[in-house]
Amino acid sequence: MEEGHNGATWGPRRPGTRGKGERARGQGLQALSFRLDLVEARRTIAPFVRRTPLVRMRELDSAAVGAIYLKLESLQVTGSFKIRGAANRLAALRAEERSRGVVACSSGNHGKAVAHMAALLGIPATIFVPRWVDPTKQSAMETAGAQVVLAGDTYDEAEAQALDWALARGMTFVQPFDDPWVVAGQGTIGLELLEDIPDLSRVLIPLSGGGLAGGIAYALKERRPEVEVVAVSAERARAMVESLRAGAPVEIPEEETLAEALSGGIGRENRYTLALIRELVDRHSLVSEEAIAAAMAYAFHELHLVVEGGGAVALAAALLEAGRGQPRGGSTAVLVSGGNVSMARWVEVLGRYDPPGPARIRQASHPPPALRPRRRRG
């Protein structure tokens, strides 16, 4: 099994094969012990979400690479795809569950989505966040009317407190990824991609707990199993990748990363997403902090888009692949999953890069030359 960093990939799937320490993987949908109804999820969430735009990246087109489209969930309601899963989960609550209220734990995007949906449905919401939460995301949750509790130095510490709180008060804990309603909600993106890109041949998706990549992979493998699903993790937020290697959920120390939305473990009792990712993802890619920053800068300079670090990892992998001119047929979709970043963080990242010119982007290597860090004077 090949392993790598900065967009290098590991594990082209060979059905039924095993790596060291791994269980058999890549068996596809038939290996899963549960089924998701994405069409029903789509009907449920339609009143609450936006059908997000798809932008063709002509700057990156070449005979070798083929067409590349960005799916802009950064322009989704609440600024990330998370509203899809939250809407599907909260809409499924019974009347007495709604009246007792919901609890969530989130480094930002899930909390923002739960707060927004809870306000729309008249459900009281309490959101636990780790102390390092992005202030923009925290204030958005408070503005939506949720009670925000700062708890713990890591995501996992905040989650433990959120679970205790929910249990003590009989409130529903809204899992950020390992929940069939949430996964089905995120999977509706896959249905949109299949409709919008007839020759879709691969999708690059940010990966943390696996609700997003698991849901989209489910949509694709159920309908067009030949579409390649590539999951992209930040090198400094790789709990799922390590869990796949170990064949069971593993806890790894949380590291600081530009992709803070991707931090945290996959849950010791993971029930759904580890299996989904193991069975349905064809390839994994890891990207460095440098590549993530370069992708955020690229999104601004080329597309005038504000993209957060966690939302930029798949774009980072796509830029690295395009830079290598790796031969591909058909069209590639790249999930830009969120745009919630504080102004201070964004300006700091953007300040490191010169504006890129289209001709230089076309010859992109690693990191794309147009996005090389600016040399500091003096």
Closest separation in Å from C-beta 300 to ligand PLP: 16
Return the bridge partners of 129, or none.
150
x/- mask, ligand PLP, residues 280-319, rule CB under 6 A, reads ----------------------------x-xx--------
Backbone CA torsion sign across 93, 53, 72, 208: positive
Our CB check for ligand PLP shows the closer of 213 and 299 to be: 213
- Do residues 356 and 314 lie in contact, with contact meaning Cβ atoms separated by under 8 Å? no
Is 210 a residue that touches ligand PLP (CB under 6 A)?
yes
Task: Give the CB-side neighbour count of residue 311, counting CA atoms within 13 A.
Answer: 29
| Closest residue to ligand PLP, based on beta-carbon distance | 338
- Do residues 299 and 245 lie in contact, with contact meaning Cβ atoms separated by under 8 Å? no
Is 109 a residue that touches ligand PLP (CB under 6 A)?
yes
Our CB check for ligand PLP shows the closer of 59 and 76 to be: 76
As a whole number of angstroms, the distance between CA 340 and CA 66 comes to: 30
Is 190 a residue that touches ligand PLP (CB under 6 A)?
no
Is 243 a residue that touches ligand PLP (CB under 6 A)?
no
| Chain centroid, CA 211 distance in Å | 8
Our CB check for ligand PLP shows the closer of 82 and 328 to be: 82
DSSP string, 99-148: HH-EEEE-SSHHHHHHHHHHHHHT--EEEEE-TT--HHHHHHHHHTT-EE
As a whole number of angstroms, the distance between CA 228 and CA 281 comes to: 8
Contacts with ligand PLP in 28-87 (CB under 6 A)?
Answer: 80
Our CB check for ligand PLP shows the closer of 7 and 310 to be: 310
x/- mask, ligand PLP, residues 77-106, rule CB under 6 A, reads ---x--------------------------
As a whole number of angstroms, the distance between CA 148 and CA 159 comes to: 13
Our CB check for ligand PLP shows the closer of 180 and 338 to be: 338
Is 337 a residue that touches ligand PLP (CB under 6 A)?
yes
The residue within the footprint of ligand PLP, chosen from 130, 249, 338, 367 (CB under 6 A), is 338
Our CB check for ligand PLP shows the closer of 138 and 208 to be: 208
As a whole number of angstroms, the distance between CA 282 and CA 26 comes to: 7
Contacts with ligand PLP in 246-265 (CB under 6 A)?
Answer: 261-262
As a whole number of angstroms, the distance between CA 152 and CA 129 comes to: 8
The residue within the footprint of ligand PLP, chosen from 77, 212, 291, 296 (CB under 6 A), is 212
Active-site residue list: 82, 337
**DSSP code, position 208:** S
Give me the residues that bind ligand PLP (CB under 6 A), please.
80, 109-110, 177, 206-213, 261-262, 308, 310-311, 337-338
